[in-house]
Structures are given as C-alpha cells and as structure tokens.
Chain A
C-alpha cells in the first residue's frame, strides 16, 4: 500500500530537503503532538523567521517550560533549555544577563506562561528584559487533560468545568501591553506568512517582545466543545479573524466563537533592563563602576 503512495507524481530534484529539517533534532521526530495541533505550524513559522532574519544560530537560545508547547525546546536543534514549570522566563532572564550577546527566545504555552509563570511574565515585561516570548495559546491545559486555564473563554466546557467556564479569562495582549512590553502581536496558526514576518520583526526588536499565537487543540478543547477537528478550527480562524494593526488591546479579548482580532498591536521604544542598569550604575558610581565581564570566552 505505502509503496503505491511513495510513487511521486512530481519530479523532485536531488538534494532538495524540507527547509525546517536543519532546525530539528531529527532523531526525535515524529513528535508527540496530536493530528491537527497547531504547534508544529508555529515551529515552521519560527524556522522561516530565523532563516529570513539571518540570525547567527550559535547565538540563539530557546527556553521553554512544561506543556505541549514546552516540547519545542526538545525538538529544536538550537541551544535549548527545557525548564521547570512556569519558570521559562526566569531562566531566560538569567541567560540573557549572563550573556547579553545571546538572542533568547521563550517558546511556551499559555498555561505555563500565564498561570504557573504569570508573575514572571508581568515582571519581565515591566523591566523590559530583552527576551522574546512566543506563546502558543490553545486556550486550555492540554498536556494534563484539558482543565480550565486562565485563558479559557467563558461558556467553554472543560475537564474541570463540565457545566461551562464562568470565570473571566485573561486577554494576553492587553496584559502584555499594560505591563509595558515593547512589541505585542497576535496571530492564529492560519496566518502563517504574517506570523513568520512578525517573528522576524520581533527577533530584530530590542526589548521585551510578545507574540500570542491562537492554536487549535482538537483533542482536548475542540472535541469537548463539539467544534470539530483541527481543520474545522483553521477554517473558523480564516473566517472569524480580522487584521487590525494597532487596535486598542482592551478590545481584543478572545471569546468562544466570536471574532478574533489579530495583528501587531504595540511597537514602541523603551530602554531595556540592561541599559537602565548601566545608566543607573554610571550615575551613582561614576568611574568606580566597572562593566561586568560577560559573555562566553570560547565563543
């Protein structure tokens, strides 16, 4: 049967390869993500953004916490850190301060970043740490069985809310905006080109960058709510999302089946943590302040 499938109707030139493969630890593929899950799509966009931005891959580090999205650090063939639950941002902060040359990217899910690690997120955004946070938001705690997360919209059925969620949910872009992030954007897994461009932009931006990616979770979110599979969700994203760059983030909350406002909401210049630290030390210590020796002597 499969031999019949392998018969290719296209002529494939020798030496061609999937552009995402050089970025993956191929010994770990196939990955564990469900059929129709959007995390793999966001990884594709991230690798395209890294290719386009021509970043030095020896200076890119991925940090992730626990969860389905947390596994990205294990699959990416970059310097990567799979940290404790919710603590991806503290690890990333330490990494960045110890070696400011590094481009530190936090790649994690909504439960990890906003429930268990919510405090770390708001303080990293307040300090304007020069790290980039990519949050794949599937609106639930997927790996543990679909419990209500702080991002789960009202009226949704979840494992811990069989009669529907009644708690108000976090609006992640508004939270990031209010805490002072330098760059805030939201896309869905349907908007692959825009997402790749946005990731490229955030990699070049100094300061705290935040991208929220709304992604399907067919096994634990869509199935319980009779919303179909991954493809049905992608069609819903296509039909319900509206690009509104610079929209006031307070008006962009996510609902169960309503409009999804996507786009780049915030792009502002603020001095980052390291600049502020140096400025303050120069001011109070003057010549007595010695720049710390940072970086890795071998690279």
Chain B
C-alpha cells in the first residue's frame, strides 16, 4: 500500500517532463499517448512507490499535477 498518490490533469500538461525527471521515487513516466494539444502527459508507472511528497506538484509549471499523502 502506497503512502500517497498523484493526480494528473492531462489536458493542462505541456509535456516538459520536470515531474518525471525529479520524482525522487520514479513513480512517473511520459506516456506515449497524446492530449488534445498534442503533448505527451506523464502517467503513473509505479503507484506503490509514491510517497505523496508533492515535489511533482511544486515543479509542475502548468499546475497539471499534484501529489498528496493518504489520510490515516
């Protein structure tokens, strides 16, 4: 059971890949699919590793992703 989760708003993403590169536990990867603007948004590849640190949310220049911890 992971400690946290990430939520992605794919339509707002511009595919800069900051979140993919700087995720400390490598939860994300760029998807091969497109959003309606033609960018490749990230998708979750290892949801069990997510700690909910929200570093992806702090890096995202397009306000398209955030992470949070599950309430205990």
Contacts and interface: CB of A to CB of B under 8 A. Distances in A.
Interface in B8-50: 8-12, 14-18, 21-22, 31, 33-36, 39, 41, 43-45, 47, 50
Given A5-B35, A9-B47, A234-B21, A18 B66 contact: yes
Contacts of B14: 34-36
Contact of B21 (A8, A38, A48, A235): A235
Contacts, number: 109
Interface residues of B, number: 42
A270 B35 CA distance: 52
A5 B61 contact: no
A19 B5 contact: no
Given A2-B36, A5-B31, A11-B5, A31 B21 contact: no
A48 B57 CA distance: 10
Interface residues of A, number: 43
Contacts of A5: 10, 31, 33, 35, 41, 43
Given A9-B43, A192-B55, 13 more contacts: A1-B34, A4-B33, A10-B44, A16-B68, A20-B66, A21-B63, A29-B12, A33-B62, A40-B60, A48-B58, A230-B18, A234-B18, A234-B22
20 contacts: A2-B10, A2-B33, A5-B10, A5-B31, A5-B43, A13-B71, A29-B12, A30-B62, A33-B62, A35-B39, A36-B61, A37-B61, A38-B61, A39-B61, A44-B59, A44-B63, A192-B55, A192-B59, A193-B58, A230-B61
Interface of A: 1-2, 4-6, 8-13, 16-21, 24, 29-31, 33-41, 43-45, 48, 190, 192-193, 196, 229-231, 234-235
